[in-house]
Structure 1
Amino acid sequence: MKAMTLKAPGGLDNLVMTDIEPVAPGPGEIQVEVKASSLNFHDYAVVAGLIPVEDGRIPMSDGAGTVTAVGEGVSAFAVGDRVLSYFFPHWPAGRPDFSSVQGVPGDMAQGFAAQTVTRPASHFSRMPSNLDFAAASTLTCAGLTAWRAMMVETHLRPGDWVLVQGSGGVSIFALQFARMMGCNVIATSSSDEKLARMSELGAQHLINYRQVENWGDKALEITGGRGVDLVVEVGGPATVPQSVRAVAFGGCVSMIGVLTGFAGEVPTTELFQKNARISGITVGSQQQQADMIAAVEANNLQPVVDIQFPLAELADAFRHQEAHKHFGKICVEI
C-alpha cells in the first residue's frame, strides 16, 4: 500500500511517496481503507515545517474511508461500514482540557495520507449517509470548527446576524450552517467573483474588503447599527479590530484562524464597552461531530469541494492552497 510521508524538517518538496504494509487490527481496533482527505491550514503548517513533526510523519488530519477488518471486541463497526476520523480522538464530550486535544492525526500521530490505516475504533465516527467520501472528509476539521463556533459557543437563533470572512473551508461551512438555521449572513472577501458565489450559497449581504476598508462600520450600517451576533474570525491580527467594530453588544468574535499573523492589537475598550467577547475555537468534540453529522443528514447539506487531487499530487494540492485560489475545500483522493 502507498502513503505520503514527510521528511524532516518539512517543506512541500520533502513529501515522498512510500510503500507501507497494512496492519491487522488488534483488540479494539479497526483497519480502514482510506478513500479521501481534505486540506486544512493545520495540515499546511505541518508539511511546510511550521509545526515540527517526526521524520517520516504521514500528514493529513482528515480521513474518510471503509472498514476492511475489525479487531476483537469491536462492536461499533463492521466490515464495509463507511467511517470518518476524529480530529481529537481523545475528546469524547464536554469542555476541552490539555489531554483531550492530544493525538491529532498528521501532527502528533500518523495521519490519513495513506491507503490504509489501523487505529482504535474509538478514533472514528460513522460517515453521513448523504455524502461521498471527499465531501465527508471536509467535515472533521473545517466543518466541525464552524459547527462549534455557531452551535456550541454562541447558541445562535433564527434571525441572528453572522459575519463570515473569506471563502475558505470554515467560512463556507459557517455560511451554510447559518443559512440552514435561518440566520442572516454578511460575507467579506477581496474577490467579487467569490462574493457572487457566496451569494449563491445564501449570503444576503456582501462586502469587498479591498474596496471597503472599514468593513466593520459597513456591517453596523447593514444591521441598522445593531452589529452582528457572531463574527467567524479567520484573519487574525489584521482583521480583529474590524471584527470588534462589527460585533453587537453581547456578541462573540470566534477566533478560529491567524492567516495574517500570530499577534496584534485588540481594541479592548470597545470590546468591553460592548460586553462582547473573543472566544478561541479549536475544532470540537466527538459528541459535537455526531450532532453535526445528524444536522448534515437532516438538511442534506452538501459541503463545497473546490478541486480534488490524487494522493501522488499532494504537494500540488498544497500549492493550490498557498495560492488562495480555492473556494471551499481542497480534497485528496486516496
Structure 2
Amino acid sequence: MKVIEISESFGTDRLRLADRPEPEPGDGQLLLKMNAASLNYRDWLMVTGRYNPKQPLPLIPCSDGSGEVLECGGGVTGFAPRDRVLPIFAPRWIEGKPDREKLRTTLGGPLDGVLTRRMVVDADSVVRTPAHLDDVEAACLPCAAVTAWNALVVHGELAEGDRVLVQGSGGVSIFALQLARAMGAEVWAISSRDECLARMRELGAVDGVNYKTVPEWGREIRKRSGGVDLVVDVGGGATLPQSLAAVGLGGRICQVGNLGGGSVELNLIPLFMQQVRLQGLLVGDRCSFEALNDLIENKKLRPIVDRTFAWTEAGAALDYLAAGQQFGKVCLSIEE
C-alpha cells in the first residue's frame, strides 16, 4: 500500500512515497479508501518538526481527509461499503469535554494521518460526508470547519444578529465567515490584502480593514461596528491585543490559533472592565462535527478551495500553505 510519510528527519523536502502493509479492519472498525486531504498550518508545523520535535518517525502526516468505506469489520452497524465518510481529528473524542488522553490521539501526529490510500479507523470515529460535497470539498471539514463551528456555536454562543470578526483568509476564518452568515450573524473581517477583503465582502462580510495599512485595526473595527460580539482569533500573540480592542461590552474572544506567535504582553484591564470572555479551543468532538454537517447540508454550504495539488506534491503544497497567500483551503487529491 502506498503512503506519503516523513522519515529519518523533519522537513517538507523529506516527504516520500513509501510502501506499507495493507491494513485489515478488526472488530468495530472500517477499512477506508482515502480520496482527498486538506492541509492545516498544524500539518506544516508537524512535518517541519516545530509542533513536536520529539514526534517519533516515520509518520504519515495530515489530519483531514475524505474517503469511502471498502470493508466493515465484525460488529459494525450503520455503515456499508461505498459509504462516504470523514475521519474525525481526535478519534477518541466522541463527545463532551476533552481530556489529555483524547487529545493525545490525534491524526497526523502522534497517530498516523490520512496521506494513505487505505486507512483503518474505528467505526465511531467517522462522520458521514455531506452528500452535495465532492471529495476535495469534504476533506476541508474535519479541523478548520469544526474549529469554526465550535468557536461560533459551542463556545461563542452565536445568536442571530451578533457581530463577528474574522481574521485573514485561511480555512478557519473563511469557514467562520460562511457559517456565521448562514446563521444570521453580521461579519466583519481583517486581512493584509485588499483583494481578499473584497472577496470576503462577496461572501457576505459587511466590511473589512487592512491591518497592514491600519495597525490599530481593533479600534477601527470597534468604531465602525460599535464593538463586535465575538472574535474568532487565529493570530494569537500578534492579534489578541487588537481583538480585545475590537470586542464590545460582554463580548467573547475565541482563541483558536497562534499564527502570529504564542506569547504576548496584554493589558488585562479591558478584559474585566468590559466583562470580556477569552476562550481557547482545539477543534472539537464528533458530536460537534455531526451538528456542523447538519447545517452544511441544510444550507448547502460549500467550502472555498484555493488550490488542489497531487498528493505526491505534499511538500510543495505545505510550503504554499505556509506562505500564507491562500484564500480558503489548500487540498491534495489522493490518486490510486
Q: TM-score, normalised by structure 1?
A: 0.97
Read off the aligned partner of 1:239 and give its amino acid letter: T
Match of 1:82 in 2: 84
Judge conservation of contact 1:8–1:54 (CA < 8 Å) in 2: no
Map 1:228-247 to 2 at 5 A. 228-247=228-247
Paired AA for residue 38 in structure 1: S
Bigger Cα displacement from structure 2, 267-276 vs 96-105: 96-105
Preserved contact between residue 85 and residue 124 of structure 1 (Cα < 8 Å): yes
Structure 2 segments unaligned to the other structure (5+ residues): none
Contact kept? 1:160, 1:228, Cα under 8 Å: yes
Q: Does 2:281 match 1:261? A: no
Shift of 1:99: 2.1
Cα distance in structure 2, aligned partners of 1:232 and 1:188:
11
Shift of 1:8: 3.5
Q: Considering only aligned residues, what root-mean-square deviation do their CA atoms show, in Å?
A: 1.0
Question: Which of structure 1's runs of 4+ aligned residues deviate more than 4 A?
Answer: none
For the 8 Å contact 2:94–2:125, the answer to whether it is kept is no
> Which residue does 1:34 correspond to in 2?
34
Q: Could you tell me which amino acid in structure 2 is paired with residue 331 of structure 1?
A: C
Q: Deviations over 1:202-229 (max 9, x none)?
A: 10111011111111111111123xx111
Q: CA deviation at 1:20?
A: 2.2
Matches within 5 A, 1:70-109: 70-109=72-111
Partner AA of 2:23 in structure 1: V
CA distance in 1, matches of 2:47, 2:183: 36
SS of aligned partner of 1:330: strand
- Summarize deviations over 1:50-99 as a string: whole Å, max 9, x none: 12321111001011101111111111211110010100111111222222
Match of 1:218 in 2: 220
Code of the aligned partner of 2:105: G
- Amino acid paired to 1:329: K
Q: Distance in 2 between the 1:267 and 1:237 partners?
A: 13
2:165 aligns with one of 163, 173, 189: 163
* SS of equivalent to 1:199: helix
SS in 2 for 1:145: helix
In structure 2, what is the Cα distance between the partners aligned to 1:325 and 1:259?
13
In the other structure, the counterpart of 1:304 is 304
The answer to whether the aligner puts 1:203 opposite 2:195 as a matched pair is: no
Counterpart contact for 2:237–2:264, Cα < 8 Å = yes
* C-alpha distance in 1 between matches for 2:153 and 2:8: 39
Residue 44 of structure 2 aligns to a residue in which SS?
helix
Structure 1 residues 138-193: Cα deviation after superposition (integer angstroms, max 9, x where no partner): 11000000000001112111111000000000000000011101111111001011
Counterpart of 1:286 in structure 2 is: 286
The residue identity in structure 1 corresponding to 2:323 is A
Q: How far apart are the structure 1 equivalents of 2:59 and 2:210?
A: 39
Distance 2:267 2:78 in 1: 49
> Which blocks of at least 5 consecutive residues in structure 1 are unaligned?
none
SS of the residue aligned with 2:272?
helix
State the one-letter code of the partner of 1:86: I
Task: State the 1:21 CA deviation.
Answer: 2.7
Task: Give the length in aligned residue pairs.
Answer: 332
Q: Does 1:190 align with 2:192?
A: yes
Q: C-alpha distance in 2, partners of 1:312/1:190?
A: 31
Sequence identity, in percent? Answer: 42
Could you say which residue in structure 1 is the equivalent of 2:149?
A: 147
